[in-house]
Structure 1
């Protein structure tokens, strides 16, 4: 949008005119006809947007900021009058607020045409989607889903930002904000899985959700799937398919990281990574085909989020990381392999990226390969424990077996290369 709209006054005025016409056209279709029609339509909204543009332009040219307040007061008075006239038959404030917003967008267009045009398009879209939004809020969204959405928003916007960042000496060097962010991530993945389940059902929804969530955190995805399985929200095979689908992303993302950072190391490991991903894909498809069609639709009763399980997994990962780092300090810096194993317990891709960087800097290829394998092995162990912790023996056993099969097949491919 930026290249199409410059920053001059003509561009700003054109953007304001377009916004007024766009929003006004939407309101014109809803204002009705006859003496009972609403007060503001396409002409009123266009004039309001142009009034904002003129007020901004003249205030800058004449150094008279009072014009902005005068224009706003005029539009506000007209909005109040329009509401007073129609309050008996339509107590809503949408049109009146949209009129004031259009004036402010007209102001914005003069200083940032692209931002103003985008805000105007978003306002028009919001107004046009009234029926769909009303249906979603009253018919589709359940009371528990609304509660859980508000909980996620509170955690993301209030709780996590307020926690102290960085290692805390009182807690043995643990990063409280990172652990809280991991809890938030697990809860978000639970919500993603719930949405996918409602849209596509268990057979396709959970594997798709697991695959894409695996690019963020396979450990968190496995924990989320295990929790859903333990509480009976989805069939066991569906949760296992979603968990193993996340491991496909682990192999592919590791290969992409190495291809970007250490191409020589990637050429050594790409057969193993692809074989590991293929084994994970095969097991995921096999489990998905075992799910009856229409089974495991998301329940509208009960909470979507499992906060207790998410916190337990985050604490487990934090404790494992602290113990491994303590062991590393006690053993000393014995090499890249030990360091990769320690880092891989918390995040396999970060450890693989570090090994790849060292490989590009002159690290011996055999040592680099062993470093990548150490990261994958330690991370797979943590994922297996997370599966057992969140989903129990039935869920964790098959996930652990799948992880072991992937590693064994990938190791065989590397040996035979």
Structure 2
């Protein structure tokens, strides 16, 4: 089948350039205004500018495109200097120059040019909403937290060494950095949930969902929120306890993937633990609903950087302790190894035991005790984090729930 000459790629690319200019120009035309103070560019100007960029790139490549863009920039400078205006903004002028470049980009990469044009048009159209968001809806503390989080994630974290270091090579600074960023992200998610749904619903929901990322980190973030806003303590406790439901569900999934016989041995312990966590969390959620906490708290800090750093320090100490125990006693003792690994990650502990069962090195009947020992060690870590991050009042409410969950798991093993 022959392609019509009018549909060959150069023609389509030129049409894309015109469309890109027309798209942006349509939005600018609506804001152009009237009279002497009107904007110098509208639909036609933007379409022509984009076409000029496409023609320039087609005839002379990047060099001629640069000449066209420089010429347009000169014309814009002259027009801006002579035009009477009350608004000193340069949005239209800068976007017009960008449109010239997008027209040139349509020749080698029309899809990318179109994507950029749509994004720019959306930003222009949302001017009023973005202005309200930045000046009214987002507080100074929230903006500070956003900048801190962006710097930690995009600037500092990539520079942190990603290799084992320290005693017994137990510490990976990059991994610890990820955990610290994770704690800040969970804290921010809880803060956003509170702003959207209120403290009584948002924090329990955020805790239950964040537990799938890290229950320990969630408890740390909830503790920091409770310490910062004592009136939300009941909801924070509910979110912290509900995060353990995710721990139980994840353990069931990883055991199912590694060793079904191990999962069968752990069914009752996991069911008992999960039901206990759900009941305790629901009771606390109902209590939070009766608590006179504000439904729409005012703007504040999205997360606590101090708590995130303390959590990272505690985790580093636990990592060194676990590595020291394993190095001193060796890996022959399944119970000791599972307990040491559980201090850091109960799922890693369970996976290691299930792997031994799958390899025939450990009988399925002997798997429950090491896995529960790892879960108990992980509970001890959570108790420590709760006490450090949320203070006495928070810990006195969270610790009983954590203890009940682990006791329920051990009780389930007795009925099998």
TM range (shorter): 0.7 to 0.9
**1:323 aligned to 2:321?**
yes
Contact 1:234 1:298 in 2 (8 A): no
The aligned runs of 1:235-246 (5 Å cut-off) are 235-246=232-243
Contact 2:190 2:207 in 1 (8 A): yes
Alignment counterpart, residue 307 of structure 1, candidates 300, 305, 308? 305
Contact 1:233 1:298 in 2 (8 A): no
Query: In 2 relative to 1, CA 174–87 (structure 1 residues): closer, same or farther, beyond 3 Å?
Result: farther
Aligned length: 407
In terms of mean alpha carbon deviation, does 174-183 or 80-89 score higher? 80-89
- Structure 1 residue matching 2:107: 3-state secondary structure: helix
TM-score by length of 2: 0.86
Measure the CA separation in 2 of the matches of 1:314 and 1:251: 23
The structural deviation recorded for 1:197 is 1.2
Alignment counterpart, residue 67 of structure 2, candidates 61, 66, 70? 70
Partner of 1:134: 131
Q: Which structure is larger by alpha-carbon Rg, 1 or 2? A: 2
Unaligned runs of 5+ in 2: 1-7
- Structure 1 residue matching 2:38: 3-state secondary structure: coil
Query: In 2 relative to 1, CA 114–367 (structure 1 residues): closer, same or farther, beyond 3 Å?
Result: farther
Contact 1:105 1:116 in 2 (8 A): yes
Measure the CA separation in 2 of the matches of 1:265 and 1:274: 14
**1:376 aligned to 2:375?**
yes
Contact 1:23 1:124 in 2 (8 A): yes
Contact 2:54 2:104 in 1 (8 A): yes
The structural deviation recorded for 1:130 is 0.9
Partner of 1:50: 51
Query: In 2 relative to 1, CA 106–361 (structure 1 residues): closer, same or farther, beyond 3 Å?
Result: farther
The aligned runs of 1:264-303 (5 Å cut-off) are 265-266=262-263, 268-270=265-267, 272-291=269-288, 292=290, 295-297=293-295, 299-300=297-298, 303=301
The structural deviation recorded for 1:343 is 2.4
TM-score by length of 1: 0.86
Contact 1:245 1:280 in 2 (8 A): yes
The aligned runs of 1:158-307 (5 Å cut-off) are 158-169=155-166, 173-263=170-260, 265-266=262-263, 268-270=265-267, 272-291=269-288, 292=290, 295-297=293-295, 299-300=297-298, 303-307=301-305
Partner of 1:38: 39
- Structure 2 residue matching 1:80: 3-state secondary structure: helix
The structural deviation recorded for 1:189 is 1.9
- Structure 1 residue matching 2:198: 3-state secondary structure: helix
The structural deviation recorded for 1:413 is 4.4
Query: In 2 relative to 1, CA 82–321 (structure 1 residues): closer, same or farther, beyond 3 Å?
Result: same
The aligned runs of 1:63-142 (5 Å cut-off) are 64-86=61-83, 88-142=85-139
Measure the CA separation in 2 of the matches of 1:354 and 1:96: 62
1:184-204 CA-partner distances (Å, limit 9, x unpaired): 222222222222112211111
Partner of 2:392: 393
The structural deviation recorded for 1:123 is 1.3
The structural deviation recorded for 1:299 is 5.0
Unaligned runs of 5+ in 1: 1-6
Partner of 1:4: none
Partner of 2:3: none
Query: In 2 relative to 1, CA 406–19 (structure 1 residues): closer, same or farther, beyond 3 Å?
Result: farther
Partner of 2:5: none
Measure the CA separation in 1 of the matches of 2:275 and 2:83: 64
Query: In 2 relative to 1, CA 23–195 (structure 1 residues): closer, same or farther, beyond 3 Å?
Result: same
Give the alignment's Cα RMSD to 1 decimal.
2.9
Query: In 2 relative to 1, CA 398–53 (structure 1 residues): closer, same or farther, beyond 3 Å?
Result: same
